[in-house]
Structure 1
Amino acid sequence: MKFTQMSRRVLVMAASGVTATVVLTACGGVKTTSSGGEGAYPTGNIEMSVGASPGGSTDLITRAIAQGLSKELGVSVPVVNKPGANGALNAKELQSAKADGYKIAVQNASLFTITPLAVSANEAVKLDDFDLIGGISQDDYVLIAPVASGYKTIADLKKTGKNIKYGTTGVGTGAQLASALTFKQAGIESTDVPFDGGAPALTALLGSQVDVATIQVGDSIEQIKARKVVPLAVFSADRIKFLPDVPTAKEQGYDVVVSQYRFLTAPKGTPDDVKTKIGDAAKKTFATDTYKKFNDAHCLTPIEVTPDEVKKILDEYATKYKAQLDQYGISLAAKK
């Protein structure tokens, strides 16, 4: 039986079953102690939590890294899904965890650069409340429509003269920001319909509940290849190798460059030697052919940079996004 990428994501979700925890099976000398003990780090399991449901990009990236860390560090690395509030619930739990290296997480740039523009100051999660271990990869967004719609470009949407209902991956996400900026700049009357992730947004699009949707390329590539949906624009700075024939929003005259970037984090105050061990193990994982093939299979662009470079990237994103929202008078806050 041939499995598509979407099928693989469904299998991951099914494999999670009733519990959202996936534990890598101990083998070849891998330690499976439930918590750290005496001796050089690590002496027990390292839990990796995910602020999203099983099967999405962040979940799949976390699982791929967990397998590599387990191999390199010689301990079991369980993955625990804790979805909610675009990753904020998981982030706040990690923030209060013991800073000993036994709880770490892959986090999304949007949680720190876009979500604060859509929620109150009390609800916002701050980057300074975590220790950065290193950068991972970029996931690009694409605006898609059903093939039957006849739409091929952003200009085609404008020509309809109607209110365009657009699906996104949620409030305070890059998908929402990219869509809102595009429709505002294009002068297209539109209505935001947020979903909890790319999969439900894609399902809504295929079910004609929305006219178009902005989701991550990895979540839509199989439907694009199957010619069930058509890509109208990508929101990267340049065309991407996974969809080389699809023009960017900038090429179509709109100053919209938005992507999802992910990086590895630990609770504030985690010892430097522990972070170094985790970071070195991650780098070795990234260098394997298996992980490189994983990136290509899921349309991910590696940006495996230092913690200082991660912070610089996020600071630039936050400044740019806020300025654009202010410029165009856009609010990302959930409608009440």
Structure 2
Amino acid sequence: MSFRKTSLTLACTLAAGLVLGGAAAAQDFPDGPVEMIVPWGPGGGSDTLMRIVANHGEEYLGASIPVINLPGVSGTQGLEEARERDADGYTMAQIHEGLLVSHYTGVTDVHPDDFEPVASFTLSPQYVVVNADTPWETFDEFVEYAKENPGEVTFGVTMAGVPHLHAAMIEDATGAEFSYVGYEGTGERIQALVGGHIDAAIGDIASSLEFVKNDDLRFLATGATERIEATPDVPTLQELGHDLELTINRGLFVPKGTPEERIEVLEESLSKLGDDEEFVEQVNAAGAEVVIRNREDYAEYMDDLDQTVSNLAEHIKQ
């Protein structure tokens, strides 16, 4: 046998071994619990929704998914821990748009690029909501007033958080100018809105819908890409001519360097949740929608948002 034939034979044997080895690794994975780090405390939106993902995802993954709450520093402390975990597929971390805000406002050096996306699962559409005693019946009326009276509209947000980002995106797209009032969480600012202490806020179904039904508040527009079943009469910002998506997408990432075949197992298994009727019902009951974005689509979404947050960073710094 010639040297060339021997080399080719050896190369083919090694390649076949690598392929079989990768397939075997995928078949054997996971053979133990896959931890899910949620960088927020128990009881919040991220914790509630990710526990629904974990509880139903175990059936499809064939392994337990214990939820580990590691809150602190605007949801970044747990992600610092996740970034340092072994890249073996046995650690997943929940990330949403807030990480980009924290990164570009100097709260943390952690960035989504420190991880590899698995998929995103839930979408919480955000709303522009006003006190029902205000004169604005439509989003256009609201924007027109905010443009003609710069700084007079008091807008409740979480400073240097996702609601602040969303309000800044509205300003950037419409030319409106708000005066921001900071609140720690959604519940706190919606209570302030109901009490008439502020004019407007970024809210969601879970925090605001009952107040809207009781005529205490009014939804002017939603940042979802399509009208929401629970609020069929509320137009989307895109319908109104603004290229904006104001949503909170909660997804899972794994540390950089995790073997490709293991990420594929996680993605394929957990993406089956989209067809699980009980899962969909529980997510809807928690005030969110089920929108499964695969790895590629989720990465593209985060890349596009990364540019937006980077551009608006100076505007939303505290």
Task: Tell me the TM-score normalised to structure 2 length.
Answer: 0.77
Unaligned runs of 5+ in 2: 1-26
Aligned counterparts, 1:159-170, within 5 A: 159=145, 161=149, 163-170=152-159
Please name the residue that 1:127 is paired with.
112
Distance in 2 between residues matched to 1:89 and 1:311, nearest whole Å: 22
Please name the residue that 1:118 is paired with.
105
Aligned counterparts, 1:238-317, within 5 A: 238-252=226-240, 254-317=242-305
Per the alignment, do residues 82 and 209 of structure 1 end up closer, same or farther by CA in structure 2, a change over 3 Å counting? farther
Distance in 1 between residues matched to 2:203 and 2:118, nearest whole Å: 27
Distance in 2 between residues matched to 1:287 and 1:239, nearest whole Å: 21
Asked which structure has the greater RCO (Cα within 8 Å, sep 6+), the reply is 2
> Is the Cα contact below 8 Å between 1:110 and 1:261 reproduced in 2?
no
Q: Give 1:332 deviation, angstroms.
A: 0.6
Q: Give 1:84 deviation, angstroms.
A: 3.2
Please name the residue that 2:317 is paired with.
333
**Which structure has the highest helix share of the two?**
2
Q: Give 1:130 deviation, angstroms.
A: 0.6
Unaligned runs of 5+ in 1: 1-38
Distance in 2 between residues matched to 1:130 and 1:201, nearest whole Å: 32
Q: Per-residue CA shift, 1:78-107, capped at 9, x if unaligned? A: 222223344222211110112223321221
Please name the residue that 1:91 is paired with.
79
Q: Per-residue CA shift, 1:168-211, capped at 9, x if unaligned? A: 244141x2122123346555542222333322222332333322
> Is the Cα contact below 8 Å between 1:169 and 1:214 reproduced in 2?
no
Aligned counterparts, 1:108-257, within 5 A: 108-112=96-100, 114-119=101-106, 123-154=108-139, 155-156=141-142, 158-159=144-145, 161=149, 163-173=152-162, 175-183=163-171, 186=174, 188-252=176-240, 254-257=242-245
Per the alignment, do residues 74 and 310 of structure 1 end up closer, same or farther by CA in structure 2, a change over 3 Å counting? closer
Per the alignment, do residues 289 and 253 of structure 1 end up closer, same or farther by CA in structure 2, a change over 3 Å counting? closer
SS of 1:282's equivalent? helix
Q: Give 1:314 deviation, angstroms.
A: 1.4
Identity over aligned residues, as a percent? 25
SS of 2:202's equivalent? strand
Distance in 1 between residues matched to 2:72 and 2:94, nearest whole Å: 15
SS of 1:149's equivalent? coil
- What is the alpha-carbon root mean square deviation over aligned residues? 2.9
SS of 2:86's equivalent? coil
Distance in 1 between residues matched to 2:28 and 2:35, nearest whole Å: 17
Which consecutive aligned stretches of 4+ in structure 1 deviate over 6 angstroms post-superposition? none
SS of 2:278's equivalent? helix
> Is the Cα contact below 8 Å between 2:271 and 2:294 reproduced in 1?
no
The structure that has the greater radius of gyration is: 2
Per the alignment, do residues 236 and 124 of structure 1 end up closer, same or farther by CA in structure 2, a change over 3 Å counting? farther
> Is the Cα contact below 8 Å between 2:35 and 2:66 reproduced in 1?
yes
Q: Which amino acid aligns with 1:211?
A: D
Task: Tell me the TM-score normalised to structure 1 length.
Answer: 0.74
Count of aligned pairs: 288
